[in-house]
A and B are shown apart, each in its own frame.
Chain A
């Protein structure tokens, strides 16, 4: 599996994503600058966490307009896999690749802690190596992860089994609607999630629950 990590100004989990990818796939990821207009030939594009453009205007809003996003959209259009983590999820929502929006956390504080998640959909390139209903723990680290969409949209994405990760009951760190932590697009090749799977691939960092995201991708994309 060949992957690319997009580097926006003030992305800050780009190295973490690249490290996890290399650890899991044995291959170095391409680091792609936001002003580039083309992607290398890759199977997976990762939009990493961070504070692209300082989170000014709205989180992810400016990044969604950057040059490289045209290429990312085209990649997704062709069915290529896109994984957006944290700020990457925000960019995906702002660019229209995923529905809904991420608002300020309900308690108005940044939150960094491990949270319990439930894998609610395993029919996807990102989660096939998990079992349905599996409980996992990923860390979150965000100030604006409060997922919002109107009821109709929420009903639709739930109805289409596009909610792949939910915060475990009582462990919702940000007030997200229906405990949503991560969702797929309609074609199921784009995943956005607030928790950080790339921070839990190494046992020394307190867990390996995130590995199956990468293992699923490797199995799906070769």
Chain B
């Protein structure tokens, strides 16, 4: 092994001088180029979580229903009757900015592999997307590319993409966020893990051939962007959903046998991380012969093969003697299959190429010995104050403006490009509080939601993160499901800056506190740091993806009004918090004031009350109150049901604007017939829950606010539905 590693080469690999010194100490010699490459990806922020690990340990990860917490490809929860749900969310931010279609597509493919490598069939996809301001010259192109990339991959896989989020803000101009979540269904006693236990077992490579694409993707994802970032396009992988679909079916077929000891997808850092992680978890060693690796291109070097991030590949360790049986399955699905190595008892990763040993390193050096930093941090003082606003602005005009604003307008243009009904189990399509999919062949259903309000997190990283968890919990509750667990996708800037590290620490604390209070453990996640371009960080964006369970999916609530004489009841207290609200931003042009605070006890009490009403079949129309406040929530209910509303100020509130547009938390609007509302009211009083009758549904297709002119639903609808297609220049056919 010859090596001519200069300080420049070390730096190009994203390693600091201290880290390199540590490598020499662990190896007792200078590493070879292949070894250096392996260290660089395994010790990258993306793979090692070196800046966040000490903080992530503080998150609650356990509950009686958690079968697998963080540390595997995805988390697993028990939903009874022997069924388990496997899910995770992961970012593909940097690649999607450079090449939006392929970046987003391979993000979808990667997270699906994380889920089916655990033995689950993916049954629903979600995505949380953040783009720059609509006026930015790149935004339209990025939106178009990301949406078609997600659709292109997910649609071909035949897994419904059932919802998510799309936000626009100038802080994402140079660094968009593409977070994809996959939810899968497995049998609780048939979960597959990645621990390659035992020596002498064949290591098999399955899926697509290895090419030169995606080399150093993990390292790219661990650095800031600058003007030259587009030159990194060759590090973006190219997806092939057709192969992935075959890989999914072939893996599930193999998993139905008992031939597998361990299996892991080749995601970031491909062959390197999959083999190192499997060896590490199994306490074994792994020996690979790269000449056996199916290759797409001629003359690939060992370095290229070990660092390639070619998609649609898996590594598995089989029981000895089961190779032929496995090979037959993969040949049937016309996929590559090769025995490329063997497990050993040396706890070393040994890589051979053309008869030479090109890497020979202790696996613990890649995992346990990977750097962990307690980076210095500064907690920012939260933004405070109640901003002033013009009290004379007419509320219905403002409502229309808000409904037609980029962050609030209907996302129909987006989700109609995703097949959201394939698999014939989607019982709540996008546009509601949560997506709901049935557990195939049962009465059970899963509610899924992804949430975070980055502007709150910017004003107050701790309260904002709490709010993200609370809103996710509330959205799942609002359809009638019991929230069970979350996956988090922590998107932040450069952790080497104390103020950014402060946001991360506060965010993790906020998530932890909310998850503990709501019995909503974190079972997996992903960190995406260095989301900065030319030194400007994104808004802190800890996206939360949650899953809840409904015993009887037929009792599900939706936001759409259903009866013209229903009474509208608000559960929860309205103080009129306008700080950081959509109203303030869209109508007053200010992003100021404090973020709304979340009282987790109230949150839980109000939510548990509402859920019970749905579970017992007493209420079928519920909407949580979030972005935009009460009047926006009412308008969404009216538009979804095409039924009008009459409402006015209630309670002690004297000011219309904070009442209708304030973003106080822990609130739900429910609609039900009068006699039902009467009995609900008395139960709310007994329970000590603040509530108010808001008005009622109405025959007239309009929203009428006492003392204000009315607004026709048709006008509101064209405002709400019009923005996205107009922005994307859609030409309607026929």
Q: Which residue of chain A has the shortest Cβ distance to B244 in the bound complex?
A: A10
User: With A51-B155, A51-B242, A204-B554 as given contacts, are A110 and B734 in contact (CB-CB < 8 Å)?
Assistant: no
Question: Is B601 engaged at the interface, CB distance under 8 Å to the other chain?
Answer: no
CA distance A171 to B733 in the complex (A): 9
CA distance A50 to B157 in the complex (A): 8
Question: Is A45 engaged at the interface, CB distance under 8 Å to the other chain?
Answer: no
- B108 CB to nearest A CB, Å: 14
CA distance A110 to B422 in the complex (A): 14
**Chain B residues within an 8 Å CB radius of A74:** none
Mark interface residues in B237-254 (1 if CB within 8 Å of A CB, else 0). 000111101100000000
Contact yes or no, B734 A141, CB < 8 A: no
Binding-face segment, A11-19, A90-98, A185-193: A11-19
Question: Is A139 engaged at the interface, CB distance under 8 Å to the other chain?
Answer: yes
CA distance A173 to B416 in the complex (A): 11
Mark interface residues in A95-125 (1 if CB within 8 Å of B CB, else 0). 0000000000111011111000000000000
Contact yes or no, B419 A204, CB < 8 A: no
- B216 CB to nearest A CB, Å: 28
Contact yes or no, B242 A107, CB < 8 A: no
Contact yes or no, A12 B417, CB < 8 A: no
**Chain B residues within an 8 Å CB radius of A16:** 422-424
Give the contacts of A183-211 with B (CB-CB under 8 A). Answer: 196, 198-199, 202, 204-206
Question: Is B474 engaged at the interface, CB distance under 8 Å to the other chain?
Answer: no
Choose among A50, A110, A179, A199 the residue that contacts B421 (Cβ–Cβ < 8 A): A199
Contact yes or no, B733 A174, CB < 8 A: yes
Contact yes or no, B421 A112, CB < 8 A: yes
Give the contacts of A140-169 with B (CB-CB under 8 A). Answer: 141, 143, 167
**Chain A residues within an 8 Å CB radius of B525:** none
User: With A9-B334, A12-B156, A198-B424 as given contacts, are A204 and B245 in contact (CB-CB < 8 Å)?
Assistant: no
The B contact surface, by secondary structure, is loop
Choose among A10, A50, A107 the residue that contacts B730 (Cβ–Cβ < 8 A): A107
Contact yes or no, B731 A107, CB < 8 A: yes
**Chain A residues within an 8 Å CB radius of B734:** 106, 167, 170-173, 175, 179
Residues of B in contact with A, size category: 35 or more
- B51 CB to nearest A CB, Å: 39
**Chain A residues within an 8 Å CB radius of B156:** 10, 12, 51, 54-55
**Chain A residues within an 8 Å CB radius of B553:** 204
Mark interface residues in B408-433 (1 if CB within 8 Å of A CB, else 0). 00000001111111111111010000
Choose among B242, B417, B422, B429 the residue that contacts A56 (Cβ–Cβ < 8 A): B242
Contact yes or no, B421 A141, CB < 8 A: yes
**Chain B residues within an 8 Å CB radius of A167:** 734
- B99 CB to nearest A CB, Å: 19
**Chain A residues within an 8 Å CB radius of B391:** none
- B436 CB to nearest A CB, Å: 10
Question: Is B438 engaged at the interface, CB distance under 8 Å to the other chain?
Answer: yes
Mark interface residues in A1-28 (1 if CB within 8 Å of B CB, else 0). 0000000011011011001100000000
User: With A110-B155, A112-B418, A204-B553 as given contacts, are A51 and B424 in contact (CB-CB < 8 Å)?
Assistant: no
- B220 CB to nearest A CB, Å: 27
Q: Which residue of chain A has the shortest Cβ distance to B335 in the bound complex?
A: A9
Contact yes or no, A110 B419, CB < 8 A: yes
Contact yes or no, B422 A106, CB < 8 A: no
CA distance A107 to B728 in the complex (A): 12
Contact yes or no, A112 B416, CB < 8 A: yes
Mark interface residues in B141-173 (1 if CB within 8 Å of A CB, else 0). 000000010011001111000000000000000
CA distance A206 to B155 in the complex (A): 20
**Chain A residues within an 8 Å CB radius of B731:** 107
Contact yes or no, B733 A113, CB < 8 A: no
Contact yes or no, A54 B240, CB < 8 A: yes
User: With A20-B424, A107-B732, A202-B424 as given contacts, are A12 and B148 in contact (CB-CB < 8 Å)?
Assistant: no
Contact yes or no, A53 B427, CB < 8 A: no
Choose among B242, B245, B422, B427 the residue that contacts A141 (Cβ–Cβ < 8 A): B422
Question: Is B609 engaged at the interface, CB distance under 8 Å to the other chain?
Answer: no
Choose among B158, B415, B427, B730 the residue that contacts A204 (Cβ–Cβ < 8 A): B427
CA distance A70 to B509 in the complex (A): 63
Contact yes or no, A53 B424, CB < 8 A: no
- A162 CB to nearest B CB, Å: 21
CA distance A172 to B732 in the complex (A): 10
- A157 CB to nearest B CB, Å: 19
Q: Which residue of chain B has the shortest Cβ distance to A13 in the bound complex?
A: B422
Give the contacts of A35-55 with B (CB-CB under 8 A). Answer: 49-51, 53-55
Contact yes or no, A9 B148, CB < 8 A: no
CA distance A49 to B419 in the complex (A): 12
- B691 CB to nearest A CB, Å: 31
- B275 CB to nearest A CB, Å: 28
In this complex, which of B241, B419, B424 has the most chain A Cβ atoms within 10 angstroms of its Cβ?
Answer: B424
CA distance A198 to B152 in the complex (A): 22
Question: Is B333 engaged at the interface, CB distance under 8 Å to the other chain?
Answer: yes
Contact yes or no, A111 B334, CB < 8 A: no
User: With A107-B732, A112-B418, A175-B733 as given contacts, are A13 and B427 in contact (CB-CB < 8 Å)?
Assistant: no
Contact yes or no, A199 B424, CB < 8 A: yes
**Chain A residues within an 8 Å CB radius of B732:** 107
**Chain A residues within an 8 Å CB radius of B158:** 10, 12-13, 50-51
Mark interface residues in B703-734 (1 if CB within 8 Å of A CB, else 0). 00000000000000000000000000011111
CA distance A9 to B157 in the complex (A): 11
**Chain A residues within an 8 Å CB radius of B422:** 12-13, 16, 49, 141, 199
Q: Which residue of chain A has the shortest Cβ distance to B554 in the bound complex?
A: A204
Contact yes or no, A10 B424, CB < 8 A: no
CA distance A146 to B477 in the complex (A): 41
Q: Which residue of chain A has the shortest Cβ distance to B147 in the bound complex?
A: A109
Contact yes or no, A54 B242, CB < 8 A: yes
User: With A107-B733, A170-B734, A172-B734 as given contacts, are A9 and B333 in contact (CB-CB < 8 Å)?
Assistant: yes
Give the contacts of B220-248 with A (CB-CB under 8 A). Answer: 240-243, 245-246
CA distance A27 to B432 in the complex (A): 35
**Chain A residues within an 8 Å CB radius of B427:** 204-205
In this complex, which of B152, B156, B733 has the most chain A Cβ atoms within 10 angstroms of its Cβ?
Answer: B733
Give the contacts of B370-426 with A (CB-CB under 8 A). Answer: 415-426
- B88 CB to nearest A CB, Å: 22
CA distance A55 to B417 in the complex (A): 17
Contact yes or no, A10 B246, CB < 8 A: yes
Contact yes or no, B417 A110, CB < 8 A: yes
CA distance A103 to B444 in the complex (A): 39
**Chain A residues within an 8 Å CB radius of B425:** 205
- A62 CB to nearest B CB, Å: 10
CA distance A199 to B730 in the complex (A): 27
**Chain B residues within an 8 Å CB radius of A172:** 733-734
Q: Which residue of chain B has the shortest Cβ distance to A7 in the bound complex?
A: B249
Q: Which residue of chain B has the shortest Cβ distance to A53 in the bound complex?
A: B242
CA distance A109 to B417 in the complex (A): 7
Contact yes or no, B419 A141, CB < 8 A: yes
**Chain B residues within an 8 Å CB radius of A170:** 734
- B159 CB to nearest A CB, Å: 8
**Chain A residues within an 8 Å CB radius of B420:** 112
Q: Which residue of chain A has the shortest Cβ distance to B443 in the bound complex?
A: A204
- A32 CB to nearest B CB, Å: 14
Contact yes or no, B242 A109, CB < 8 A: no
- B601 CB to nearest A CB, Å: 35
Contact yes or no, B424 A9, CB < 8 A: no
Mark interface residues in B543-557 (1 if CB within 8 Å of A CB, else 0). 000000000011000
- A190 CB to nearest B CB, Å: 24
For the complex of A and B, 3 pairs with smallest distance between CB atoms: A12-B158, A54-B242, A172-B734
What are 9 A-B interface contacts by the 8 Å CB criterion? A10-B156, A10-B158, A49-B422, A105-B733, A112-B420, A113-B416, A175-B733, A179-B734, A204-B427
* Other A-B pairs beyond A50-B158, A141-B421, A199-B422, 6, CB < 8 Å: A16-B423, A16-B424, A55-B242, A106-B733, A109-B417, A202-B424
